[in-house]
Amino acid sequence: VQLTYALPSPAHMSPLGQQEVDRRAGLLTGWASPGTTVEMTTTHTGPASIESMYEEYLAIPALAESVLDGERRGADATIIGCFGDPGLDGVREVASRPVVGPAAASMALAATLGHRFSVVTVADSIRHPLRRLAFDTGVEAALSSVRAVNLTVLAINGDHDSAYAALAAECKRCLADDDADTLVLGCMSMGFLGAAERLTGELGVPVVNPVRAAVHLAETLHHMGLAPSRRAFPPPPKVTAGTAVADLLLTADPHPTP
Amino acid sequence: VQLTYALPSPAHMSPLGQQEVDRRAGLLTGWASPGTTVEMTTTHTGPASIESMYEEYLAIPALAESVLDGERRGADATIIGCFGDPGLDGVREVASRPVVGPAAASMALAATLGHRFSVVTVADSIRHPLRRLAFDTGVEAALSSVRAVNLTVLAINGDHDSAYAALAAECKRCLADDDADTLVLGCMSMGFLGAAERLTGELGVPVVNPVRAAVHLAETLHHMGLAPSRRAFPPPPKVTAGTAVADLLLTADPHPTP
Amino acid sequence: VQLTYALPSPAHMSPLGQQEVDRRAGLLTGWASPGTTVEMTTTHTGPASIESMYEEYLAIPALAESVLDGERRGADATIIGCFGDPGLDGVREVASRPVVGPAAASMALAATLGHRFSVVTVADSIRHPLRRLAFDTGVEAALSSVRAVNLTVLAINGDHDSAYAALAAECKRCLADDDADTLVLGCMSMGFLGAAERLTGELGVPVVNPVRAAVHLAETLHHMGLAPSRRAFPPPPKVTAGTAVADLLLTADPHPTP
Amino acid sequence: VQLTYALPSPAHMSPLGQQEVDRRAGLLTGWASPGTTVEMTTTHTGPASIESMYEEYLAIPALAESVLDGERRGADATIIGCFGDPGLDGVREVASRPVVGPAAASMALAATLGHRFSVVTVADSIRHPLRRLAFDTGVEAALSSVRAVNLTVLAINGDHDSAYAALAAECKRCLADDDADTLVLGCMSMGFLGAAERLTGELGVPVVNPVRAAVHLAETLHHMGLAPSRRAFPPPPKVTAGTAVADLLLTADPHPTP
Amino acid sequence: VQLTYALPSPAHMSPLGQQEVDRRAGLLTGWASPGTTVEMTTTHTGPASIESMYEEYLAIPALAESVLDGERRGADATIIGCFGDPGLDGVREVASRPVVGPAAASMALAATLGHRFSVVTVADSIRHPLRRLAFDTGVEAALSSVRAVNLTVLAINGDHDSAYAALAAECKRCLADDDADTLVLGCMSMGFLGAAERLTGELGVPVVNPVRAAVHLAETLHHMGLAPSRRAFPPPPKVTAGTAVADLLLTADPHPTP
Amino acid sequence: VQLTYALPSPAHMSPLGQQEVDRRAGLLTGWASPGTTVEMTTTHTGPASIESMYEEYLAIPALAESVLDGERRGADATIIGCFGDPGLDGVREVASRPVVGPAAASMALAATLGHRFSVVTVADSIRHPLRRLAFDTGVEAALSSVRAVNLTVLAINGDHDSAYAALAAECKRCLADDDADTLVLGCMSMGFLGAAERLTGELGVPVVNPVRAAVHLAETLHHMGLAPSRRAFPPPPKVTAGTAVADLLLTADPHPTP
């Protein structure tokens, strides 16, 4: 199986840097099943990281292009490289092969492991968007709470130890106060830090790493010959009528001929 | 009250054309209360119309810029000029004054007029996104059904009579089969055709015109001194930390210095 | 627009007194849009104030008469002058023009301003009735909590400062403990004290004044030519069959002819 | 056990007549368990029958008085004699002993007999009020549908055969189209016609007679020493502070001393 | 009315002992209405008590046999003698007469007494199964919380005073923290200790004894001629096709003829 | 990965027969990922097939033993071999390694592929139990409908062509009438007939084969080092206190020593 892991930002030019991008690509390869290769892509334009809905919307157009590029290079399936599943429904409308969102993948996985799961994410500002993703996935009845460490993505990547401590503290609150029995890390950076595996051991409950949940869901879909429903994510009517995807965007000529 | 009605597309260069844009601007002025002025804006880039989530995401970045431009020119409040409320939460994060989405405005209004309302929109492909908007607004318990005429926005604008007939037919199905007692037109083009007013008379139930619902909600917020909650739509953390909104978008230099 | 604000009690003869009734009428006029006049009416019989469902039911028959009287005097729309929306559905069945309930109006407005709103009201005893109003309006999914100051309506009107302090304290609990981002004052007396406007400034979240929400909804319905759905609030079958509304009430002759 | 069955109308002076009132009182006595006596009371004022929310509200004040009178005569518990449970919460606030609503009683009973129940009632206009009663009782998740025969109460009592035929037809629709497995008759007149028992036999599913469900719930509460929760239905604050229930209603002197 | 109270375990050979079984049988007879007799049965095999789903499943096959045996001896209705309602749906499929589950009976009763009820049970491990029973009964919207004393059934029966103290403490938490107004004891042992009656007096809210709720529901069904719906609990298709219930279980011959 | 696929019945001695058991074992091996082995086990006692809740409960005790046996032989994870997920929660309480239910696995997978899924199963009698499984998994909001072909398991296995035709007909009803965009086969026999793959091609929507969904979920859990939450499925308190699982079942001595 050939997968694309599409980062929704030019992360290599951001403070995150190419080195961290490469480290993550290595982890992905290690986590995938034998026979799976994973290509990690970045965009030419986008926010440095996604910590608000505004940045999420900024990211989507270039992310979609990058998904289609990956398909042209032969990807069997694509993973959106951000826990907010930015543009997942829109990208599925124009993609040819399965596109997987890590939030949907990990929340659906968590739903099979207990009665109620909580998500621990980066910032309070995306708590409602994550509840909306649970609604979109249809698992909101199993969602116990969404809590946030309120650290920036940069801070998480900058000081792993205090990020882990903050994360563990919120996870414990989910168990003690919110009646959760299963946890989901609501941030890919947390996933790439190995926090889920360590917390699973320390807290005695399953803590889902969204990176790995997404990789295995992509593999599963490929093995089973399944793809997201075309009835749920139909192509844009203009595309059905013959317009190329790339021509859906009109741009006013800044120097029109008079 | 000075309002901006922000079209999320370069509609003037689309088949819709400048003439229709002007006709709509005139209607807006007529519908607004005495003392309200409405400026209609278009974007420099975007889809010709929004009939899919993919096109909705393409539209948001330029739409957000156009909202901020309107605020700089003195708008007291902005109306997103598309029933899908594209980017509403993200735009609210970066805007200084109230931003109103017509779907949220008209569904909330419909909720006060009866027990169960239905939305009639353009295409089946946006039925789930509209249910998600009802979830976002918190009125999904009052949403009876979402039905679609399955006409393109262009067809609606091209042949008013058959568009109206298709619309009336779906509205009647909502009343006969879905137990609705109130209706919402799920498309701004339908609103600008005067269909809501005509259907209210013919069907004997209130049919909400989303254009007018949004205008009056914007006026109401201004009169009451209210704005969307900053706790619900906080500014991006990077902006709070000092980054300008315009600098949130990074773009790789296509010709980097070696 | 000519509005009636129908108090569901003979408030002028209650401890509230004619002076306070007049003060409120003045505020209403100031809050309404230019071109709107508001007449404030009281009933000939009813409870001094409504702090229980029992008193709410006592109030409805005379309130309904007073609404119909207002319509006979030319009211374009009526506002029920109590946050419990007493008898709203029943009054709509017999009224000829729009009747607006302030709870429905303010909860629907709050739903458009954030993700989750709380209501702060006078007494614990009406917390469930207010949840039922949220159910009736279809916004219960957005209702975060209902909290009460547990002061009598008289105490609220008697000592404004401690009423405001109690109110502010409960509002802060809604934000800190109940995950609300928007607030609704669940009592008209609180609305007439200017508490919503002051709290909006002090708490940094929108606090809806139900008096003003109801006035602007009534204006909006009038401007848009909309009224509550007749399918939702049909006239009593006996009225359809010819009985006058006033003749629906039978009374046994206390001195029947033998 | 001594029960009061409180009719919310002066039914003896209505077209229903004293004879039918007496016939129903006889049935009640036959249906009650050995050792239970049932007194049937009417009010001095009220609507001839309840077919709308407006008539329901007209009925409540006199009904409440009649419940309190029954308690003074020694009733251990009272049954509200109308399927709409008119004023149930308000009456419970001022009553000293258990008050039972037949809708709540029969819907809760139906919930124990299958997975999904439907209610068949008299008029479309009370379909939403019955859904609200299911919400109030907390059983809305088990409510499959509410259907109506759309006959007046008088017509039901006037032509038993066609009333039964209409009723049976709607019941069959609930089973065939709404996925119900259990039925509730949503009208006391239907209950007193013996329709539930006959339909149970003919349709092969349990059909709950609300009259009998209410009688047995009242007996059960008495045997178990239980009453409605005072936390849910607290006395009016003014009563707690010393005002007599009868003094809660103020009436303006029509001929005030100058 | 002749009832069977079917214990789902060989309680007489467990630490509970025959003496306690006899004491409970005596209480049942005292609680039943005049004219009702109750036979208490135990099984030949099963767990000593049910404190986990695993033990619940172990108990069901022998419990079902014991219900059918009771019917053969003339029972008009059977009460499952465990608050988990073990196997209720399966037993109803093969039983000829009404089978009542105490959880369903007491939760439905509680739903009629207030707005929100909590259940206090023995162990955290069965909190989710009890929520599932509320779902099955259709009353989950009225379920405020499920709390547990986390004592073993043996400990509850061994030290009544500290069991009562633990129980009262959890009940108070439900009232103070979970907004409950009505309580249900989620354990039959608690019911047989008279705790519900004592707590009702001490806490000032109705506390439902599930034993008595089940007895009176069984009596009510018998009086009303109602039984669980055959559409909800149809006989196994093989039984409809002629197989005896006892022959549904195949067992491999441990010493097959070669 | 070494998996056990535990059939909850002595299927080899049932009309299904050893040959079909062997054919299915072969399919499982083919469907599993490289490196996965699957052992198929049957029980020594149980129903021939599960078509009712009564048969499901009959099956669980021996099924649980067979799961524990498989673990003793080295299984890394177990799949319950029946779509009803019989005893899943109870078995998880006593198992040492992950136990996967195919209903939970396939419904969670379906939730990631579209907005609303339907389940098509064998008999109307298990429609409610499947809705309860959706509740247990937390995905009931995404469950569009449950439909049944109403064929016996034997008939499905006896005449593949008409079984397929009946299945396809119900699937089409889910798409046409129930607004589903994704389907789940609610029966393992259907899964082993290759129906999901054929229907996916013919209907143009994803149709989930529960057998394969369960296999890949088991593999995913093993790869990720995750297991069902011990907080959700704790061991029986008696086991924690030292009792062996096998000793939880007491059996009365049929020939007690006097």
* Chain C interface includes B178 (CB < 8 A): no
Determine contact, residues A70/A39, Cβ cutoff 8 Å: yes
Interface test with B, best of C99, C100, C208, C231 (most B CBs within 10 A): C231
- In this complex, do F64 and E55 lie within 8 Å of one another by their Cβ atoms? no
- In the numeric block, the tokens 């694509």 are attached to A78
Contact D51 C236 (CB under 8 A): yes
**Is there a contact between E251 and F44 if contact means CB atoms under 8 Å apart?**
yes
Mean pLDDT of all residues in E29-55: 95
- How does pLDDT run across E221-235, given as a tens digit for each residue? 999 999 999 999 999
Q: Which residues of F touch A137 (CB under 8 A)?
A: 111-112, 142
* The pair of three-digit structure tokens given for residue F115, joined into one six-digit string: 């907005």
Helices (H), D73-152: 88-94, 102-111, 127-137
Mean pLDDT, residues C209-220 taken together: 98
Distance separating alpha carbons of residues C171 and C190, to the nearest angstrom: 13
Chain D, nearest residue to C128 by Cα: D232
Chain B residue numbers touching C225 (CB-CB < 8 A): 197, 200
Measured CA to CA, the distance from residue B165 to residue B65 in angstroms comes to 37
Question: Is C25 an 8 Å CB contact of chain B?
Answer: no
Nearest CA-CA distance, residue B231 and chain C, Å: 5
Interface test with D, best of C57, C82, C122, C231 (most D CBs within 10 A): C57
**Pick from C143, C197, C226: which is nearest to B208 by CB?**
C226
Residue F29: Cβ-neighbour burial (10 angstroms; 0-12, 13-18, 19+): middle
Phi/psi at F39 (5° precision): -100, 130
Contacts of F249 in chain E (CB under 8 A): 45-47, 58
Whether D258 has a pLDDT exceeding 90, the answer reads: no
Question: Out of D104, D114, D232, whose CB is closest to E231?
Answer: D114
Q: Chain D within 8 Å of E232 (Cβ-Cβ)?
A: yes
Size of interface A-F (CB pairs under 8 A): 163
Q: Considering CB atoms only, which of C115, C139, C204 is closest to B111?
A: C139
Give chain C positions within 8 Å (CB) of B34: 34-35
Cβ neighbours for A255, distance < 8 A, ≥ 6 positions apart: none
Q: What is the pLDDT of residue A17?
A: 85
Question: What gap in Å lies between CA F136 and CA E128, rounded to an integer?
Answer: 9
Min Cα–Cα distance to chain D from E257, Å: 46
What residues contact residue F123 under an 8 Å CB cut-off, 6+ apart? Answer: E237, F51, F52, F148, F150, F151, F152
What's the Cα-to-Cα distance from A205 to each of A139, A180, E130, F232, rounded to whole Å?
19, 10, 22, 9
Name the phi and psi angles at C147, rounded to 5: -120, 160
Q: Which two tokens stand for residue D134?
A: 């299911």
Q: Nearest CA to A71 among A213, A210, A227?
A: A227
What mean pLDDT is predicted for residues B127-151? 96
What's the gap in Å between the CA of C223 and the closest CA on chain D?
27
A60-65 contacts, C-beta under 8 A, 24 or more apart: A60/A8, A60/A86, A60/A87, A60/A90, A60/A91, A60/B57, A60/B60, A61/A249, A61/B57, A61/B58, A61/B61, A62/A8, A63/A6, A63/A8, A63/A87, A63/A91, A64/A90, A64/A91, A64/A94, A64/B54, A64/B57
B198 contacts in C (CB within 8 Å)?
Answer: none
Chain F contact set for E64 (CB, 8 A): 54, 57
- The answer to whether E136 contacts D115, with C-beta atoms less than 8 Å apart, is yes
Separation of alpha carbons E60 and B127, rounded Å = 46
Task: Write out pLDDT tens, residues F148-201.
Answer: 999 887 788 888 899 999 999 999 999 999 999 999 999 999 999 999 999 999
Query: CB distance from C123 to chain D under 8 Å?
Result: yes
Query: Is D256 a residue whose pLDDT tops 80?
Result: no
Check F226 against A33: CB less than 8 A apart: no
Q: What is the pLDDT of residue E37?
A: 96
Q: Is residue B4 pLDDT above 60, yes or no?
A: yes
The answer to whether D217 contacts chain E (CB < 8 Å) is yes
DSSP bridge pairs for F185: F120
Measured in angstroms, the CA of A228 and the nearest CA of chain F are apart by 4
Measured between beta carbons, the chain D residues lying within 8 angstroms of C90 are 52-57
Look at A223 and F33 and tell me if their CB atoms are within 8 Å: yes
Query: Tell me, what's the pLDDT at E256?
Result: 56
Cβ–Cβ gap E250/F10 under 8 Å: yes
Which pLDDT tens digits describe chain A residue by residue (258 residues)?
A: 999 999 999 977 777 788 989 999 999 999 999 999 999 999 999 999 999 999 999 999 999 999 999 999 999 999 999 999 999 999 999 999 999 999 999 999 999 999 999 999 999 989 999 999 999 999 999 999 999 999 887 788 888 899 999 999 999 999 999 999 999 999 999 999 999 999 999 999 999 999 999 999 999 999 999 999 999 999 999 999 999 999 999 987 766 555
Q: Where are the alpha helices (DSSP H) in B123-185?
A: 127-137, 153-158, 160-177
Query: Cβ(A71)–Cβ(A6) under 8 Å?
Result: no
Span D148-186, pLDDT tens digits:
999 887 788 888 899 999 999 999 999 999 999 999 999
Task: Quote the tokens at residue E124.
Answer: 């955290």
**Could you tell me the pLDDT band of residue C17, with boundaries at 50, 70 and 90?**
confident
With an 8 Å Cβ cutoff, is A224 touching chain F? yes
Look up the ipTM and state it: 0.96
> CB of F30 within 8 Å of any CB in chain E?
no
Contact A46 B249 (CB under 8 A): yes
Sign of the C-alpha dihedral computed for residues A249, A255, A256 and B4 taken in this order? positive
Q: Which residue has the tokens 């309200």?
A: B36
F161: closest CA among F134, F188, F194, F187?
Answer: F194
Decide if A111 touches F, using CB distance below 8 A: yes
pLDDT tens-place string over residues B47-106: 999 999 999 999 999 999 999 999 999 999 999 999 999 999 999 999 999 999 999 999
pLDDT digits (tens, 9 = 90+) for F27-63: 999 999 999 999 999 999 999 999 999 999 999 999 9
Candidate from A14, A135, A251 with C-beta closest to B132: A135
Q: If you average pLDDT over every residue of chain B, what do you get?
A: 94
Which residues in chain E have their CB less than 8 angstroms from residue D205's CB?
A: 229-231
Task: State yes or no: chains E and B have 3 or more CB pairs below 8 A.
Answer: no
Angstrom distance (rounded) from CA F160 to CA F165: 9
Contact A237 B52 (CB under 8 A): yes
Is residue D144 over pLDDT 70?
yes
Cβ distance of F182 and A232 shorter than 8 Å: yes
pLDDT tens by residue, E182-213: 999 999 999 999 999 999 999 999 999 999 99
CB pairs under 8 A between A and B: 149
Q: Which structure tokens are listed for F216?
A: 């890949």
| Residue C234 with chain B: CB contacts under 8 Å | none
Using CB atoms, pick whichever of C13, C52, C250 lies closest to residue D48. C250
pLDDT tier, E255 (very low <50, low <70, confident <90, very high otherwise) = low
Determine, for residues E237 and F51 on separate chains, whether the beta-carbon distance falls below 8 Å. Answer: yes
Nearest to A64 among B54, B232, B241 (CB): B54
